Amino acid sequence: MNTSLNPTPAQPLPHGLPFLRLGFRPFYFGAALFAVAVMLLWFGIFVGRLAPASGMTPVLWHAHEMLFGFAAAVIVGFLLTAGRAWTGLPTPRGAMLAALFALWAGARVAAFVGPHAIFFVLDVVFLPLVAVLFVRVLWRAGNRRNLKVGAVLALLGLANLVFHLAAAGIVAIDPVRPLYGALSLIIVLELIIGGRVIPSFTMNVTPGLKLQGPSRRDAVAVVLTVLGLACWMHDGPRYVAAGLLASAAILHVVRWVLWAPWVTVKRPILWILHVSYAWIPVGLALLAAAEMGWIGASSGIHALAVGATGGLVIGMLTRTARGHTGRPLKVSGIEAAAYVMVLAAAVVRVAAPLVAPAVYSQALVLSGALWVAAFAIYLIKYTPWLMTTRLDGSDG
């Protein structure tokens, strides 16, 4: 990496506001800020002091905003940044990027203080628009390999549309179903992207380490995961769903072990990705147990949503922001503490209904407080970096 303050001829000269030069900047900032705000609002709802003006039930609002507000912002920021690296072509920046961010932020505000009609319009437009822009860049570059990522993004937009129609009573389905679908699609994205970057990042910093590339076993694991989550989401035959989910969990454990997670113990920026990925088989196994009627589904859902997604998010928010602002890929103690807080929030949220139902309410508050603290740390440390030019003076 060139660390000179003067860009080389191969590096584009920086132009425009630094905050709007690349997708990760506004959307990582927005996601971290919203991660704090949405949980504080949820505390207010939990104690009966607040309620969404849209008329949506508090649980539906919370689940929707964590998936289509928080997680979607991270996904969009990552893909608009990765898209440029994958293709060498520009992705939205400047006024276009500002408009996309404003659309996302407007939907988040409308979700809580606006009528459902305004929330609906702002929210359902966002993901399809990003999907079109992202796929257009891939298509122009002939990058067919990543079109499936664009397809998942488009399907997320469809799930959001179905959710809104169900929540408004326009289609006769339980609005929880498209939320389950959205969580499933996010997990599929994590399997695709995680399967590429986690072993690659691990080999890059471990001299002599050779990890196996994508195999038929990996493909089978992904297919079983998709089938199992689809069966669970659509309330299919319970024993079939349980078998598929349990089988997928076993294969993901094998996949994870073959990535040699133990070599990352002294590298927090890497172990957070390994540990977070390990929550995927845990979540799948818990959902399998729920399908068998042994436990409730909440623990499995939150293992995937808080443990896997929350952990991978905080790991990628730090790693990609450091890399794309020209900083070393090595985190400080305070960032490692944020990692631990997110993982601890997941442990508390997943374990509470299983082992400590008597203190369930207190456990929810503790889990939420750990989540807020972790993303507040990110905001404090990373906001100045997201707002300013790269250390090496290049564009991005």
The predicted-structure confidence for 178-207, as pLDDT tens digits, reads as follows 999 999 999 999 999 999 999 999 999 898
This prediction's pTM: 0.94
Helices and strands: H and E segment counts in the chain = 14, 0
Residue type at position 240: V
Residue with tokens 């603290």: 373
The answer to whether residue 286 scores a pLDDT higher than 90 is yes
Residue of 179, 185, 156 lying closest to 166 (CA atoms): 179
Q: Are 322 and 328 in contact (CB under 8 A)?
A: yes
Tell me how far CA of residue 309 lies from CA of 215, 217, 273, 278, in angstroms: 24, 23, 10, 11
Q: What is the largest CA-CA distance in the chain?
A: 64
When pLDDT is cut at 50, 70 and 90, the band that residue 11 belongs to is low
The answer to whether residue 139 scores a pLDDT higher than 50 is yes
Q: What whole-number distance in Å separates Cα of residue 347 and Cα of residue 45? A: 23
Residue with tokens 């297919």: 223
The answer to whether residue 348 scores a pLDDT higher than 90 is yes
Mean pLDDT of 131-139: 97
Percent of the chain with pLDDT over 70: 97
Model pLDDT for residues 299-320, shown as the tens digit of each residue: 999 999 999 999 999 999 999 9
Find the length of the chain: 396
When pLDDT is cut at 50, 70 and 90, the band that residue 285 belongs to is very high
How confident is the prediction for the chain on average, in pLDDT?
A: 94
pLDDT given for residue 3 in this prediction = 33
pLDDT given for residue 4 in this prediction = 33
The answer to whether residue 277 scores a pLDDT higher than 50 is yes
Q: Are 319 and 359 in contact (CB under 8 A)?
A: no
Q: What whole-number distance in Å separates Cα of residue 219 and Cα of residue 189? A: 13
When pLDDT is cut at 50, 70 and 90, the band that residue 393 belongs to is confident
Q: What whole-number distance in Å separates Cα of residue 345 and Cα of residue 310? A: 9
pLDDT given for residue 213 in this prediction = 73
Q: Are 118 and 110 in contact (CB under 8 A)?
A: yes
The answer to whether residue 5 scores a pLDDT higher than 50 is no
Model pLDDT for residues 36-64, shown as the tens digit of each residue: 999 999 999 988 899 998 888 999 999 99
When pLDDT is cut at 50, 70 and 90, the band that residue 18 belongs to is very high
Q: Are 163 and 123 in contact (CB under 8 A)?
A: no
Q: Are 73 and 34 in contact (CB under 8 A)?
A: yes
The answer to whether residue 245 scores a pLDDT higher than 90 is yes
